[in-house]
Every structure is written in C-alpha cells, then in structure tokens.
C-alpha cells in the first residue's frame, strides 16, 4: 500500500530551513530557464505580428535578408503585371517596392544604435494597415526628407520626436510621425519616402525587395508563378516564413541560456540528492517502522521520490514568481542578419510557467532517485537498529 502524502508534507514542515535552502537552488535554475524562454517568446511574438498571412516578400534569389537583396525598378514593373496580386479599391496592385538600409543613431552618453531604415511609397504604408497606426504626427510626404519612427526608437533617442531631426546619410531628416506597430518588429524601424532614401544612398535603381499581397488565401500558385519566371530570378517567401527566419538572432541567446539553466539544474539536483541522503540517514528508524507496518520497498521509494520532487516544485514555484516581473519588460537584441537592433518585450506565458514547473519536477526526480532507492533497499534489520 502507498504511504500517505501527508507523511512527506509533515517531514518537509519539520525541516523548514533545509527545505527552503534546497528549494532556492531549484528556484534559480527555473528562473533562468523561464527568463530565456520568455525572451525567445517575446522575440517570436514581435516577428509573428509583423507578418500578414497573404503577404509575400520578394528578394533576389540567394538573399538571406532584405538588406542584402537587390531588385530593380524594371523587376518591379514586371512583377506588377503578374496575375494573382490583389488590387485596392482603385484597381492598383497591392505591391510595394522598398529599399532597406541600416543607419546609426546617436543616443545619450555617447552610445549608438543601428536601426533599419525602410524606404517605401504610400502603398507600403497602406499595405501594413491596420497593423500600423500613427500615435503622433502624420505620414511622410513623397519627395520630402521626412521620417516616421517606431515607438521603440522614439523612446530611446531624444531627437526622435515629432519636429526633431535625425542625422544620417548626407544630412538632416525631419521626424514628422511616431508609429505604433503593437509588438511588431516595425516598432524598431524608420519609414521614409522611397525616392528620397534611394537618392540619398545613390541607389536609384538598386533597391531591396517587393512586398506583394496575394488575391487568394492560397499563396502557392502566385509563389510558383513568380519563382518559375527565370527573368526575375526571385526568392519568394511568405512574410511569416521570412520573419521566422530572422529568429536565428535569438538562437545563440537561447542556447547559452539553456546551457546555463541545465548546469544550474545539475547543481540543484545534487542539492536535492544531498538533502534527501541526510533526511534518510536521520529517519532510518522511521523507514524500518514503515516496512514493519507493511509498506513495500516500492512505497518507500515513491514516498522519498515524491518528497524530493515536492522540494523542487516549491523551488520551481518560487522561480516562476520571481520571473513574473519580467513579463512585458522591454529589451533589445542585435541581429547579425540585418545588422540592426530589434526592441521587444519578454513574454512570460502560462505555458512557459508550466514548462518551468515540469523542469523543477524533473530536477527533483533526478536528484531524489538514488537516495529514495537507497532508503527502499536498506536492510530491514539495519533500519530497525538505527537510532
């Protein structure tokens, strides 16, 4: 028969200090793991909300990002005639020719950040509605050296306010609007008129990419039509797939964070093991009594294994509580693909907290198995003689 759970709970209460100290070792491991998963979830969310299900991004074949792609205005005209591209109320194709480059902005204390500058026409802004909204000011005008900056940039750069000027390229640009893209990556970008940006960087006919909207929810036929045209030599990706590819910026952080969490978990497991061996040594006579009362070796093993897991779960709960203030905390990460900085918020979701608790339980099970086995297979005579 099974040993009542209350027996394990009472033993944990009796050894409050030891239980708490061991739990803290597990708490730190869970805190690190939850923080890493929340960071990756926040970055994933910023890319997810940047993507529209009917949007395709067209780049030069072999390009790893819009930054290194080169498309010409002639390519764009050929793309506009393609069947399957959606049209607006005026019969204009929903397609935006864009140029992407990276500019450096000065921050307080003499620091700098790299920011993505996206040159586009009014159609590019229209295609990103209603996801993008102007919280202040207005949209840039065609032919003017005007900018609309993302909220994340406006929050970091004192000059990035309506009426302010930013210095890059050959001179000053006036900020005329602040845009809010929710949690999307566009909050970390600057939008400007395509003609002005291409002229500024002497790239009138060497632009970056084309954003098109499919007339059908099934993108396959339009993708196939664009890819098979050898004259264009295009790499065609759904906007969602493209931004998922940008997630590679988080892989090193995720890898290092997971390694640190696992190393700390190993320490937590050894702490549980040490605590349980000590508890078993002190309770040898109790174990003998339990066996005399008819409890099997398996029951004893499960009892001490559950006790170890409860200690770790307590630590896991503490770690999850400590991680909650990270939710929606804003941070930034640099991408080696776009060479710019992306701002996003940590997302501590219920699913991540559940993963943290399972991680804690596994830590307790691993650390408690050998001590529990030692208690279960201890000779009955030896346990009864223990003092």
Lowest mean pLDDT among 185-194, 198-207, 289-298: 289-298
Instruction: Look at residues 240, 247, 207 and name the one whose alpha carbon lies nearest to residue 223.
Output: 240
Would you say residue 136 has pLDDT above 70?
yes
Cα of 327 vs its chain's centroid, Å:
12
Q: What is the pTM for the complete model shown? A: 0.74
Q: What is the mean pLDDT of residues 348-353?
A: 92
pLDDT at 247: 64
Count helices and strands (H / E) in the chain: 13, 12
pLDDT at 325: 92
Separation of alpha carbons 89 and 67, rounded Å: 31
pLDDT at 334: 63
Residue ranges of the domains in the chain?
5-48+249-385, 55-216
pLDDT tens-digit readout, 30-81: 888 898 888 888 877 766 656 678 899 999 998 888 888 999 999 999 999 8
pLDDT at 1: 54
Would you say residue 138 has pLDDT above 80?
yes
pLDDT at 322: 93
pLDDT at 241: 82
Separation of alpha carbons 319 and 313, rounded Å: 9
Lowest mean pLDDT among 46-55, 195-204, 257-266: 46-55
Copy the structure tokens of residue 241.
Answer: 């797939």
Q: What is the mean pLDDT of residues 292-314?
A: 81
How many Cα atoms sit within 13 Å of 308 on the Cβ side?
A: 32
Non-local (6+) Cβ contacts of 83 within 8 A are: 225
Contact, 147 vs 140, CB < 8 A?
yes
Q: How would residue 94 be classed by pLDDT, with cut points 50, 70 and 90? A: very high
pLDDT at 190: 93
Pairing between strand 146-150 and 171-180? parallel
Please give the DSSP secondary-structure letter assigned to residue 60: E
Report the 10 Å Cβ neighbour count for 259.
12
Q: Which residue has the higher pLDDT, 125 or 2?
A: 125
Would you say residue 162 has pLDDT above 90?
yes
pLDDT at 214: 92
Alpha helices in the chain (DSSP H): 5-14, 16-48, 73-80, 122-127, 151-156, 194-200, 220-228, 239-245, 251-282, 284-292, 297-323, 350-376, 380-385
Separation of alpha carbons 10 and 160, rounded Å: 60
Copy the structure tokens of residue 325.
Answer: 């203030």
State the Cα angle at 345 between 343 and 347, rounded to 5°.
Answer: 150
Instruction: Look at residues 243, 143, 139 and name the one whose alpha carbon lies nearest to residue 191.
Output: 139
Q: How would residue 141 be classed by pLDDT, with cut points 50, 70 and 90? A: very high
Pairing between strand 112-120 and 189-193? parallel
């Amino acid at each position: 028969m099974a040993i009542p759970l209350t027996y394990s709970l009472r033993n944990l209460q009796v050894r409050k200090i030891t239980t708490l100290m061991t739990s803290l070792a597990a708490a730190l491991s869970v805190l690190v793991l939850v923080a890493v998963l929340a960071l990756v979830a926040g970055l994933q969310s910023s890319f997810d909300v940047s993507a529209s299900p009917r949007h395709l991004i067209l780049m030069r074949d072999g390009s790893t990002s819009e930054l290194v792609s080169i498309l010409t205005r002639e390519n764009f005209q050929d793309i506009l005639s393609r069947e399957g591209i959606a049209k607006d109320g005026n019969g204009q194709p929903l397609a935006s020719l864009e140029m992407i480059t990276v500019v450096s902005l000065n921050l307080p204390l003499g620091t700098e950040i790299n920011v993505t500058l996206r040159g586009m026409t009014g159609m590019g802004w229209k295609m990103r509605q209603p996801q993008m909204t102007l919280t202040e000011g207005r949209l840039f005008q065609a032919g003017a050296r005007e900018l609309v900056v993302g909220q994340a940039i406006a929050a970091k750069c004192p000059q990035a306010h309506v009426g302010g000027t930013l210095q890059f390229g050959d001179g000053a640009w006036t900020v005329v609007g602040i845009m809010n893209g929710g949690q999307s990556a566009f909050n970390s970008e600057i939008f400007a008129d395509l003609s002005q940006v291409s002229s500024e960087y002497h790239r009138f006919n060497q632009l970056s990419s084309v954003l098109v909207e499919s007339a059908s929810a099934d993108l396959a036929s339009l993708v196939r039509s664009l890819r098979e045209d050898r004259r264009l030599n295009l790499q065609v990706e759904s906007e969602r797939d493209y931004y998922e590819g940008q997630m590679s910026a988080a892989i090193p952080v995720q890898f290092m964070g997971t390694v640190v969490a696992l190393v700390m978990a190993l320490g937590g497991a050894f702490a549980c093991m040490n605590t349980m061996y000590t508890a078993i040594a002190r309770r040898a006579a109790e174990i003998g009594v339990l066996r005399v009362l008819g409890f099997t070796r398996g029951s004893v093993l499960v009892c001490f294994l559950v006790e170890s897991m409860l200690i770790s779960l307590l630590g896991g709960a503490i770690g999850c509580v400590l991680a909650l203030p990270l939710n929606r905390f804003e941070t930034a990460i640099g991408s080696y693909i776009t060479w710019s900085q992306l701002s996003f918020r940590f997302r501590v979701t219920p699913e991540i907290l559940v993963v943290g608790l399972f991680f804690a339980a596994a830590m307790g099970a691993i650390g408690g198995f050998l001590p529990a086995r030692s208690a279960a297979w201890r000779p009955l005579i030896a346990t009864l003689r223990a003092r």
